[in-house]
Amino acid sequence: MTTHPTASSVRTTPEGLLWEPSERWVRGRKGDVTVVDSRHPVLVWEPHLPVPQYAFPREDVRTDLLRPAAHPPTGAHTGSQVFYDLHAGGEPVANAAWTFPSKDLAGHIAFEWFRRWDSGLDHWYEEEEEIFVHPRDPHKRVDALPSSRHVQVGVGGTLVADTRRPVLLFETSLPTRYYIPRDDVRLDLFEPTDHRTACPYKGRARYWTWHGAGKVPRNILWSYPDPLPAVAAVEGLFAFYNEAVDLTVDGERLERPVTPFTASLTP
């Protein structure tokens, strides 16, 4: 029987992992099969990943659906682990689950989630809300605040947005994003694309790309048509990558920040 820690404080393992008990009820499904159902999950931060992952007490996992991995990866996670293939109907999912080597996390099983949107389990839930991409970090805030700042956006020398009624989205470790009403954006200068992303804090976004002159990265404009309740204020508004446009706020030209998104923003 796994002992469930109750103190809400981050601990460190000799392997360099950070971990913290969570009080959220977390479930994971593959098709119609519930593979994980836990009221005692643990959040784990690996040194090379920017977001947390969940590990679950073994008794909260359908271990009868796991088999030792036929082709376990090397170097995928911190330390040496045991990997499992998932057999839950249909084709087996290779290396869908694994264990951490730390004594602190003995008796726990983790599941691939971050950066594996098309593999692993199909759906994850915290309480009754579906969560995408990765677990939410309890030490991270996302606030969407209506503002009267004067925001102007330039692309390739053209003014494409001008508003005094933006919503500013403040997200820990990322630059402020300026969400702009549709009427204040030159949407005629952009065309919709098939690109889509999902965020555990904001929901699912759709994208537009610049069709004017100049070398401009694709998909620099996005919107959340149906955002999660916590950021409902950005619904239907439009935001640009600060990393790729000329952004002026209250007359001050902002520098283009370097973020984890910069490398992907290529013309």
List the CATH number of the domain containing 99. Answer: 2.170.150.40
Using CA atoms, how far residue 251 sits from 162, 164, 174, 185, in Å, is 12, 12, 22, 18
Over range 77-85, report the average pLDDT: 84
Residue where one domain finishes, among candidates 78, 107, 131:
131
Using CA atoms, how far residue 156 sits from 139, 200, 215, 242, in Å, is 37, 32, 8, 14
Please give the pLDDT value at position 15: 84
**Domain co-membership, 241 together with 178:** yes
Over range 206-217, report the average pLDDT: 92
**Domain co-membership, 102 together with 153:** no
- The tokens describing 109, both together, are 């099983």
| pLDDT tens-place string over residues 18-62 | 999 999 999 999 989 999 999 999 999 988 777 899 999 999 999
Is pLDDT above 70 for 122? yes
**Domain co-membership, 207 together with 93:** no
Over range 83-106, report the average pLDDT: 90
Report the candidate in 40, 80, 205, 193 with the shortest Cα–Cα distance to residue 132: 205
Percent of the chain whose predicted confidence (pLDDT) is above 90: 69
Query: Is 2 a member of any domain?
Result: no
Instruction: Between 36 and 122, name the one with better pLDDT.
Output: 36
Please give the pLDDT value at position 4: 58
Query: Is 137 a member of any domain?
Result: no
Instruction: Between 189 and 113, name the one with better pLDDT.
Output: 189
Q: Which domain holds residue 63?
A: 11-131
Query: Is 26 a member of any domain?
Result: yes
Please give the pLDDT value at position 192: 97
Please give the pLDDT value at position 116: 54
Give DSSP secondary structure letters for the chain.
----------EE-TTS-EEEE--S-EEEEETTEEEEEESS-EEEE-TT-SS-EEEEEGGGB-GGGEEE-SS--SSSSSS---EEEE-SSSS-EEEEEE----GGGTTEEEE--TT-TTSS-SEEEETTEEE-SSPPPTT--EEEEE----EEEEETTEEEEEES--EEEEETTSPPEEEB-GGGB-GGGEEEEEEEEEETTTEEEEEEEE-SSS---SS-EEEBSS--GGGGGGBT-EEE-TTTSEEEETTEEPPPP--TTGGG---
Tally of domains in the chain: 2
**Domain co-membership, 260 together with 146:** yes
**Domain co-membership, 181 together with 246:** yes
Contact 114, 27 (CB under 8 A): no
CB-side exposure of 86: number of CA atoms within 13 Å?
A: 26
Residue where one domain finishes, among candidates 131, 151, 173:
131
Percent of the chain whose predicted confidence (pLDDT) is above 70: 94
**Domain co-membership, 164 together with 232:** yes
**Domain co-membership, 117 together with 16:** yes
Query: Is 4 a member of any domain?
Result: no
Average model confidence (pLDDT) for the chain? 90
Over range 183-194, report the average pLDDT: 97
**Domain co-membership, 127 together with 150:** no
Over range 241-262, report the average pLDDT: 94
**Domain co-membership, 28 together with 124:** yes
Please give the pLDDT value at position 125: 94
Please give the pLDDT value at position 8: 60
Query: Is 177 a member of any domain?
Result: yes
**Domain co-membership, 166 together with 194:** yes
Is pLDDT above 90 for 76? no
Over range 215-235, report the average pLDDT: 95
**Domain co-membership, 22 together with 92:** yes
Residue where one domain finishes, among candidates 131, 166, 201:
131
Please give the pLDDT value at position 80: 67
Ramachandran angles phi, psi of 232, nearest 5°: -60, -25
**Domain co-membership, 106 together with 186:** no
Is pLDDT above 90 for 162? yes
CA dihedral 165, 166, 170, 171 (to 10 degrees): 160
Please give the pLDDT value at position 49: 78
